[in-house]
Amino acid sequence: MIVVVPLIDYFAAADDSDALRGLVPGGPAGAGFPAIPAKGIDPAVALGKLTAILTGRRYDEVVADPHHCRPISDEGAESLVVSVADVLRDALARADNSRLADAAAEWCQADEVASVDAAHLIGLLTELRALALDALRTDSHLYCAWTL
């Protein structure tokens, strides 16, 4: 059995139309966006659980948010762009190193990221925090480009 793991990149863009530029060959980085590769960290469930951890909201509330993992591009394509809710952007931007370490320790218990160690997740969260801070500074939003 062949398992296809999608390539996943998180990036910041001014708005939905700007985010669509992330669909070019080479993904968001190829379009000139600062991008964070996060292979295997899906924007729906894994990021939903992270959002619940960082915001204190229940997971079902997180995934009910209309901005959580909202498709920006055609869902039938091999590549798509989805939104990352601003509540996660804001929570990442507010988190200090201690909060990120605590969140990584809790997040690595979730089945969706159980194969990823906490040290790697802390590094990823640190990069996502920097991206979130930059997005706030430029009045931008976070997005995820997903390519099969």
Confidence of residue 2 (pLDDT cuts 50, 70, 90): low
Angle, helices 86-94 vs 118-137, to 10°: value is 110
Torsion of CA 144, 14, 33, 10, to 10 degrees: -20
Question: What's the CA gap between 103 and 97, in Å, rounded?
Answer: 10
Prediction pTM value = 0.93
Q: Hunting for tokens 């080479």 — which residue is that?
A: 26
Q: Which of 37, 63, 55 is nearest to 144 (CA)?
A: 37
Q: Using CA of residue 126, residue 22, residue 49, residue 69, what is the dihedral sign?
A: positive
- Give Dmax over CA atoms of the chain in angstroms: 45
Q: What is the pLDDT of residues 77-132, one digit of tens each?
A: 778 999 999 999 999 999 999 999 999 999 999 888 878 888 889 999 999 999 99
- Per-domain residue ranges for the chain? 7-147
Q: Hunting for tokens 């706030």 — which residue is that?
A: 136
Whether domain 7-147 has CATH 2.60.300: the reply is: no
